[in-house]
Amino acid sequence: MKVSILDVAKKSGLSIVTVSRVLNNLPSVRSGNRDRVLQAMKDLDYHPNASARSLARGKTGIIGLSLTTLYDSFLDSVVKEVNDCLAEKGYFLALSISSGDDDQAHRSLFQEDRVDGVILLSPMREDEYVLDLKKNQIPFVMLDNQQLNSSATSVIVDNFHGGYEATKHLIGLGHQDIAHISGPELFLSSRERERGYRAALAEAGFQPYCVERGDFEISTGYRIAQAWIESGKLPTALFASDDYMALGAMNAFMNEGIRVPEKISIIGFDDQFIASEFRPMLTTMRQPADQIGRTGVDLLLKMINGGVKRNVTVQLSPELVVRESTSPMSS
């Protein structure tokens, strides 16, 4: 039979209230009584339920995290960092994965009294679920927020700077005919990376060679590059809005004997795991996944503990990682 707190109280000869105070490490217990409770727990091999202890303190010890996909090594790195940081602070992480159109799963899991706070990873909009969190006064943080001028506490990446630096890298190598494969217009990150691309070109006095709309899939990059090949007109360099589309384009070019980077330089965005596994290894703009996760946890725990009184937005910078897929313009 499972040992309960009532059994510990009987064994120690003290009240359930006193035992509960010992379990929650409260200072208002005499040292002698504390020793009696601890000895009773040892004799009965009693192990207190962690969640019950958390509830006794008015907290669950659980943080909820919502996202829409696990098929992304960048997001995977963010989730891992969040989990590791929370574990260091004694919290457990609960994941909720749903399609972008269905928030019901999030609402049922991450409601009041079930979690101490919520992290929203790459949310596309501030919808009714976010309003529910605000109404119920559940602390939450948005990571990789896709809303411009959001009113929620957020950790974002300077995607404009990333697009600008990626394009500047190609311009610095002597390229002028630089094409861009953008991500879906729905994503703020896509629009900002394209804006950075256009700004860098305008600053250098160049016009965009070509801008195509993609969907963050390898097949998209392949299809767009194949169309360029069939037209007989190729850029000398390509900035793709994510690594998958960059690698898809690289595959199409190399299948047709168009060498990368000798004939065309390619740079991606994110620094996905596979970016350094292909040959040539992909030059890319690395998103600071570890810093995003760590900053998000820090902000959320400060909100939970009353350390953050107003909404804040922390903006982080991506980093240029030069590998093998870009080279100086051949003469």
69 and 147 co-located in one domain:
yes
281 and 301 co-located in one domain:
no
The number of folded domains in the chain is: 3
Q: Tell me if 39 is assigned to some domain.
A: yes
pLDDT value, residue 320? 98
252 and 297 co-located in one domain:
no
Q: Tell me if 324 is assigned to some domain.
A: no
pLDDT value, residue 128? 66
203 and 299 co-located in one domain:
no
95 and 119 co-located in one domain:
yes
Q: Which domain holds residue 133?
A: 62-157+289-318
91 and 185 co-located in one domain:
no
pLDDT value, residue 297? 96
Give the domain CATH number at 219.
3.40.50.2300
150 and 167 co-located in one domain:
no
166 and 237 co-located in one domain:
yes
195 and 251 co-located in one domain:
yes
In Å, what is the CA distance from 162 to each residue of 11, 130, 158, 287, 296? Answer: 65, 28, 6, 9, 20
pLDDT value, residue 150? 80
Q: Tell me if 53 is assigned to some domain.
A: no
pLDDT value, residue 130? 80
The span from the CA of 33 to the CA of 29, in Å, is 7
What is the DSSP code string of 269-328? EE--GGGGTSSSPPEEEE--HHHHHHHHHHHHHHHHTT---S--EEEE--EEE--SS--P
Sign for the CA dihedral angle at 107, 108, 112, 115 comes to negative
**Tens digit of each residue's pLDDT, the chain (331 residues):** 678 888 888 999 998 778 877 776 666 788 889 899 889 988 988 876 655 555 555 577 889 998 887 778 899 999 999 999 998 888 889 888 776 555 555 555 555 557 889 999 988 766 667 878 888 788 999 999 888 778 889 999 999 999 999 999 999 999 999 999 999 999 999 999 999 999 999 999 999 999 999 999 999 999 999 999 999 999 999 999 999 999 999 999 999 999 999 999 999 999 999 999 999 999 999 999 999 999 999 999 999 888 777 889 999 999 999 999 999 987 6
Which amino acid, residue 236? T
116 and 201 co-located in one domain:
no
Q: HEC string of 37-98?
A: HHHHHHHHCCCCCHHHHHHHCCCCCEEEEEECCCCCHHHHHHHHHHHHHHHHCCCEEEEEEC
Q: Tell me if 54 is assigned to some domain.
A: no
293 and 153 co-located in one domain:
yes
